[in-house]
Structure 1
Amino acid sequence: MKKLRSYIKIITVVSAITALTACKKQLDLKPHDQIDATDAITTDKDVQSNLIGAYNRAGLSYIYGGDVFLMPDLMASQSVVKWSGTFQDLTEMVNQRVTINNGYVDNYWLDAYRVNNQANYVLANLDKATAANKNSYEGQAKFLRGLMYFDMARLFGKSWNDGDPNVNLAVPIVLKPTTVIGTDSYPSRSTVAQVYAQAIADLTDAETKLTTSTSFYANTYAASAILARIYLQQGQYAKAVTEATKVISSGAYSLVANYADEFPFPNQNAVHVDNTTEDIFAIQVTAQQGVNDLNTFYASSDYAGRGDISVRSTFLDEFEEGDGRLAVYNEDSGGSLQVDKFDNLYGNVRVIRLAELYLIRAEANFRLGTSTGATPVEDINVIRARAGLTALTSVTLDQILKERRLELAFEGGFFLHDAKRLKQNVGALPYTSPRLVFPIPLLEINANKNLKQNDGY
């Protein structure tokens, strides 16, 4: 069952800061049980606890525990999936008629600002950190905040290429921790361009402050990878190529041999599986924290899910014969066609993986007519080779976009975000339809007189 809605306004995000119990080692351990931390931040350990708490909160179901990717996909995948769920708030998204009191939207807004508020606490207290840890804490906090603002801008604001991003509104930018209610507790919405700029600034700073060490937390390559995604969304292709190449050429990550192995399932629902060699940044899901919410709706009851989302057989017709990626599409015991990427109840939620960077670089290089790092066909053949397909001698933009669609299906909310970026209709709606943008929650509008509602609501 989903957790009960928590109607707490953005201006009251001064509640208890979550943190994890004491660690013997700085940021190299897996997340475990939460505790409340209400004491003042006075030591390096306090800063660390707040940072780990921010990561833990970012993994809640309404954010990177799955719903930040589930929600946009439901709004744009009607030709690919069938929805049989009974959650009215998600049904509104499938019907592309989201209401101003939608519980999923409300809780996403609330939890996203809680993450940012906790990151702001870390950044405001860096003077308490030791010299050895200061850069790491700052980079981690800015990574989370930049990632959060980018996704909020895409969901609550118009697409970058829909009108003028310097005029279109996104979400309020809050860069200081909220401790008391004051005149600055009622922020207005910043423009799409301003929020993107903030996300880029945070991630660029994180990129320079984080190390190359791979663990369960963000490193410099994770920041580069999200920057590549942002630049592709903006159409800044040269920058997208640069950031993607940083990750690919680092050698820190490699594609797993078989596509299905990227989504490991140990046949025991209570088993946590660590990141694969392909995962650049993933949310670690454990029994203590909760479940992978993509499992809740995509997996059938055979694998602890509800099976509310089934795949239309026509989607499989898009794959070439012998495509190894078809291995993750199978009928459950009831004969319903499901995607098996999320069968592990405690499987990690992949925020970004290496295959996406090859696809970003291939598309961006193609659009530029360049071959920085590799030719577009070389990058696409890396993806095709892993899928067991024959190499291409040349490639078109349509072929690149098809490989992207099939490789990343049901990950990252790309059914909606790519449709907008590519100026494609989303079902019967044009990509510019206000029904494809989340409303500002009514509770927030009522609490903050400076918030303006989106068109159509």
Structure 2
Amino acid sequence: MKKNRYIIPALLSAMLMATGCDNRLDVQPTQSIDENVALGTSRDVEVTLIGCYDGLQDVDVYGGAFQYASELLGNSDELGFGGTFQNLLEMYNKEMTTNNATATTTWRDSYVAINRCNNVLSALDIVDEDKRARIEGEARFIRGSIYFDLVRLYAKTWGDGDNASNPGVPLVLKPTRGVTDADKIPRNAVAEVYAQVLEDLTKAKSLLPESNTIYATKYAASAQLSRVYLMQGNYAAARDEANEVITSEAFSLNPTFESLFFTFLDNGGANPEEYIFSMIVTQQDGTNDMNTFFGTTISAIPGTAGRGDIRVLAKHRGLYETGDKRGAFFVTTNNTFTRKHLDKFGNVLQFRLAEMYLTRAEANLRLNSQTGATPLADLNLIRTRAGLKAATTVTIESVLKERHLELAFEGHTLHDLKRTRQNVGALPYNSPKLIMPIPQREMDVNKQLVQNQGYN
């Protein structure tokens, strides 16, 4: 998704277009512009959709924060932190405060992106008919995806108590064009948020094309659906969505693990064949905050960068078997860093095919089924690509270990531990310390919000 900083806020972007030519001095104030002018043509809606993608790849949304929050909160002494940002240090120590900068900006910027999607969805009737289905699908994919990760980070995990009464996040499904008391709504239940996520993503899948240049496709929607269903323990649905992506043959496993990364340095900015969806970063636009915090400058590799805040510890490296190429995919200076995020202009990965194979393997194993392939066959595709001998047996534990090593530092750690009810260090999976706080600024403005347990 190429960012375009000039067309981001839905109302502002269309206002500029609407007032650009006839009389440059006759400019209406943005706070009073009529929505029929702001979104008056199909082109206006298309421009606003680009703003939705810009919001999606914001560094405090899918441009990094959703992923590094999962890795830091889910860390059990496999990562070290040597940075100076208090917000990340709080995550690392599982001692977040209600003024945590990441919790605050991720909430805010997520709802900004959601509001842009709502603007698009409210104006579908003026979209050219040949584009309408795709545009609706893209907006729903973005909105559903963001709500999914918001509810995973800011609420109790699915199945921890009563989903129907546990507070999730507020569902805002119509454009907010001026904040009144009516816009200050309470948190919807976790079950309600998941229902909306599934509605958006299922509808998106039915509307999106199989190919869509750098934008969302039906397979991106299927990949996200597989994650949602896996989080819910709906293994049959998770398996079937993953299987649909695999059997589409629209993607293929890279021949080597090493070739999956360095999308700018080694691949000219293009995604590998294994990538299902990513945030596109270029030298002109876009930021990869996984690079910012996991990456570091390596003088022998021009084009690398990063603060070097998040380091890989011996406990993690000790998990790899001898000969595992993934166990060598690190670089050591004074500290050890993953090579996955060294590329300064690397694309921010969201879904890749290996995840789908591992999801299908786990779901088939839990269900004693063989949809698409046997669990052992899927497991061995990933193992042999990493340079390991094929396994002769498969267990849930071996699949989960393979998933942890294959998808390490890609944003899965906390959520996999929660859904499988595993401790994070000494903390149980459902510890309040593993749930982000509702930002204090939101609590101060909206008295209908309730704070998460453990936060004052």
Q: Would the TM-score normalized by the shorter structure come out above 0.5?
A: yes
Aligned to 1:31: none
Provide the residue aligned with 2:356 in structure 1. Answer: 357
Secondary structure of the residue aligned to 1:341 is coil
Equivalent position of 1:324 in the other structure: 325
2:340 match: secondary structure: helix
SS state at 2:376 partner: helix
Within 5 A, what are the aligned runs for 1:66-105? Answer: 66-105=64-103
Aligned residue for 1:301, secondary structure, equals coil
Q: CA deviation at 1:391?
A: 1.4
Do residues 263 (structure 1) and 261 (structure 2) align?
yes
Q: 2:285 & 2:104 partners in 1: Cα distance?
A: 21
Aligned residue in 2 for 1:383: 382
Offset from partner CA, 1:129-184 (integer Å, 9 cap, x none)? 01100000000000000000000000010010211111111100010000123343
- 2:26 maps to none
Q: Distance in 1 between matches of 2:295 and 2:427?
A: 28
Q: Which amino acid aligns with 2:392?
A: T
Distance, in Å, in 1 between the alignment partners of 2:336 and 2:157 is 32
Aligned to 1:399: 398
| Alignment match, 2:38 | 40
In structure 1, distance between residues paired with 2:438 and 2:312: 31
Q: Is the 8 A contact 1:225 1:352 kept in 2?
A: yes
Equivalent pair of 1:78/1:94 in contact (CA under 8 Å): no
| 1:294-324 deviations in Å (ceiling 9; x for gaps) | 1111112322211111111231121111112
Checking the alignment, whether the CA contact within 8 Å between 2:155 and 2:190 is kept in structure 1 is yes
CA distance in 1, matches of 2:271, 2:213: 9
SS at 1:342 equivalent: coil
Q: Does 1:169 align with 2:170?
A: no
**Unpaired runs of at least 5, structure 2:** 1-7, 18-29, 299-303
- Equivalent residue, structure 2, for 1:222: 220
The 8 Å contact of residues 282 and 352 in structure 1, kept in 2 or not, is answered as: yes
Q: Aligned residue for 1:147?
A: 145
In the alignment, structure 1 residue 435 sits paired with structure 2 residue 433: yes
Over aligned residue pairs, what C-alpha RMSD do you find?
A: 2.0
- C-alpha distance after superposition, 1:86-139 (max 9, x if no partner): 001111111101000111110000100011000000000001101100000000
- Would you say the 8 A contact 1:14–1:178 is kept in 2? no
Could you tell me which amino acid in structure 1 is paired with residue 335 of structure 2?
S
Deviations 1:217-242 (A, max 9, x none): 11001101100011011000010111
Matched, 1:448 2:442: no
Please state how far the C-alpha of 1:78 moved relative to its aligned partner: 3.8
Which residue in 2 is equivalent to 1:213? 211
Q: What letter matches 1:382 in structure 2? A: L
1:350 is paired with a residue of what secondary structure?
A: strand
Q: 1:261 to 1:388 in 2, by over 3 A?
A: same
Aligned-pair identity (%): 45
Deviation digits for residues 389-446 of structure 1 (CA, Å, limit 9, x no counterpart):
111232111110110000000002x221111111111112111111111111111011
Q: SS of the residue aligned with 2:209?
A: coil
Tell me the amino acid that sits aligned with residue 61 of structure 1.
V
The residue matched to 2:224 in structure 1 has which SS? helix
Cα distance, 1:386 vs. partner? 1.2
Paired position in structure 1 for 2:120: 122
Q: Which amino acid aligns with 2:239?
A: V
On the 8 A contact 2:263/2:272 being kept in 1, the answer is no
Q: Secondary structure at the match of 1:351?
A: strand
Alignment match, 1:61: 59
Q: Distance in 2 between matches of 1:18 and 1:99?
A: 35
Partner of 2:276: 280
| Equivalent residue letter for 1:279 | Y
Give the aligned partner of residue 295 of structure 1.
Answer: 291
Count of aligned pairs: 426
CA drift of 1:326 comes to 2.3
CA contact (8 A) 1:75 1:94 kept: yes
Structure 2: distance between partners of 1:219 and 1:236 = 23
- For 2:40 and 2:253, the matched residues in 1 are separated by 43
- Which position in structure 2 is the counterpart of 1:339? 338
SS at match of 2:351: strand
Deviation, structure 1 residue 336: 1.5
How many angstroms apart in 1 are the aligned matches of 2:239 and 2:322?
A: 31
Return the letter of the residue paired with 1:347.
G
The partner residue of 1:237 within 202, 224, 235 is: 235
Amino acid at match of 1:389: L
